[in-house]
Amino acid sequence: MDRREHWERVYVAKADGELSWFQSEPGVSLELIQGVVPPARSVIDVGGGQSALAAGLLAMGVERVTVLDIAPSALRRGRERLGAAAERVRWVEGDVLEARGLGPADVWHDRAVFHFLTEAADRRLYAAAVRDALRPGGHAVIATFAPSGPERCSGLAVRRYDAAGIAAEFGAEFELVNSATETHTTPWGRAQDFVYAVLRRGAPVD
């Protein structure tokens, strides 16, 4: 089964309360995005179709919010959740590994997408997509399962990281400027350890 089909099936089959990653309030993500300097005016949320992050970003006053997701049903759910405010968001269906022309953005946000990339070649494609979309001086906020977190998510294997490990995947052009940990509780009460890395994009490195 390909990636798109996998994720589409998940969202067709499961309600929000059946998704392990579900958060009604993405507090740590919003706090970290709020902390970047200068304040973010444009944010891309990768894999955020079903997430409440877009609503939080609009409430924070972010002017340009883009949500990218591979699953059309996730995007449909996100639009429905926002109601009329959905018109203020750019919704993009696609695979992050092929994403081009989404920026320039001040912040690239990803909670629980990068950690599914178990192949080094895919992680290189992902880093290229970040470089394409994020302006120099912009920030990538990447959240994955922590070393103490689960080994699988949604039936798929994941790679677990600490903040320095996430930074190492993006090379010398990106500096780790902040990090956070969170023990997320799934809707059915299981604890999952996450780590968040905030990476600032500097000048290109040859």
Ligand X SMILES: C[S@@+](CC[C@H](N)C(=O)[O-])C[C@H]1O[C@@H](n2cnc3c(N)ncnc32)[C@H](O)[C@@H]1O
45/106 with CB nearer ligand X? 45
Say whether the peptide bond before residue 104 is cis (omega within 30 degrees of 0).
yes
- 111, 131, 139, 200: residue in contact with ligand X (rule CB under 6 A): 111
Q: Please report, for residues 55, 68, 80, 146, 163, the alpha-carbon distance to residue 94 in angstroms, rounded to integers and kept in the order given.
A: 21, 7, 19, 26, 27
Segment contacting ligand X by CB under 6 A, of 56-64, 106-114, 129-137, 191-199:
106-114
| Alpha-carbon gap, residue 103 to 105, rounded angstroms | 5
Convert residues 63-102 into a mask of x (bound to ligand X by CB under 6 A) and - (unbound). -----xxxx--x--------------------xxx-----
> Both tokens of residue 124?
């290189």
Smallest gap from residue 203 Cβ to ligand X (A): 28
31/175 with CB nearer ligand X? 31
Segment contacting ligand X by CB under 6 A, of 43-51, 158-166, 172-180, 193-201:
43-51
Smallest gap from residue 161 Cβ to ligand X (A): 15
E strands along the chain, which residues? 42-46, 64-69, 89-93, 105-111, 134-145, 152-153, 156-157, 174-185, 191-201
Which residues, including other chains, have CB under 8 Å from residue 13's CB and lie 6 or more apart? none
DSSP letter for 24, please: S
Within positions 132 to 191, which residues make up the interface with ligand X, using CB under 6 A? 153-154
Residues within the interface to ligand X (CB under 6 A):
3, 7, 21, 23, 46-51, 68-71, 74, 95-97, 111-113, 116, 153-154
